[in-house]
Chains A and B, each alone.
Chain A
Amino acid sequence: SSELTQDPAVSVALGQTVRITCQGDSLRSFYVSWYQQKPGQAPILVFFGKNNRPSGIPDRFSGSSSGNTASLTITGAQAEDEADYYCNSRDNNGNHWLFGGGTKLTVL
């Protein structure tokens, strides 16, 4: 079982706001990084740390964290945001890195 838990699938209407979550005990001590992966492509970093968005990533992507849950929010989802999203952080011992199981986002 994964120590970082994500909902397998989430859907959002075009232009609406969606939150993708990542839960794990380690998240009380470590921030996460978020990756977007489209079919047949390598993942790309979309948000990381407390409040960091890589250059070139639209500002509709934002992140937050509270307790054992980290969230990636897309404000005004676009059709091109349809993808799999993965969180990454540390395991419960804090010694090794770990991905969540991934969330498939569908934009309706």
Chain B
Amino acid sequence: QVQLQESGPGLVKPSETLYLSCAVSGGSISTYYWTWIRQPPGKGLEWIGYIYYSGSTNYNPSLRSRVTISVDTSKNQFSLRLSSVTAADTAVYYCARASVTIADRIWYSYMDVWGKGTTVTVSS
């Protein structure tokens, strides 16, 4: 059974760069779309972006200028880099495995495996 585990610092200073990793166990990182989602305290889910195992990426337009998602197939993990953080970036960050498929000529995606989430606080 595939499991995901986020890791990274719980506290980041304003204007610095946030780095998080997501380790994939119980399965290969090859195939699938590897995704980051975040949830500010008391708020809803926000899609950050994904990386396909081949390396192609897709980012939320509101974060695109600050976000980089990368994959390391040799370590079976993928990572999130978010630069110039502010208090608004304080959130629980989740990694998830996603698939994209088509039925009746209609595309859809779904995230079927999630990590437990890691809390990141931006504060000096």
Task: List chain B residues, Cβ under 8 A from A48.
Answer: 108, 110, 112
* Binary contact track B43-73/A, C-beta < 8 Å → 1, others 0: 0111100100000001111000000000000
A50 interface contact, C-beta 8 A = yes
Main secondary structure of the interface of A (DSSP, over half): strand
Main secondary structure of the interface of B (DSSP, over half): strand
Is the beta-carbon distance between B109 and A88 smaller than 8 angstroms?
yes
Q: Which of B45, B61, B110, B117 is A49 in contact with, Cβ under 8 Å?
A: B110
A69 interface contact, C-beta 8 A = no
What band does the interface of chain B fall in when counting residues whose beta carbon is under 8 Å from A?
Answer: 20 to 34
**Are A49 and B103 CB-contacts (below 8 A) given A35-B45, A96-B58, A97-B50?**
yes
A11 interface contact, C-beta 8 A = no
| B35 nearest in chain A by CB position | A97
The listed residue with most A CB atoms (<10 A of its CB), out of B103, B106, B110, B115, is B110
B101 interface contact, C-beta 8 A = yes
Contact count A vs B, C-beta below 8 Å: 78
How many chain A residues touch B (Cβ–Cβ < 8 Å)? 29
- How far is B110's CA from A42's CA once the two chains are assembled, in angstroms? 15
- How far is B108's CA from A30's CA once the two chains are assembled, in angstroms? 6
Is the beta-carbon distance between B109 and A42 smaller than 8 angstroms?
no
CB distance from A64 to the nearest CB of B (A): 13
**CB pairs A–B below 8 angstroms (12 shown):** A31-B107, A37-B45, A43-B111, A49-B108, A88-B111, A89-B109, A95-B58, A96-B47, A96-B58, A98-B47, A99-B46, A100-B44
B interface residues, Cβ below 8 angstroms from A: 35, 37, 44-47, 50, 58-61, 94, 101, 103-104, 106-112, 114-117
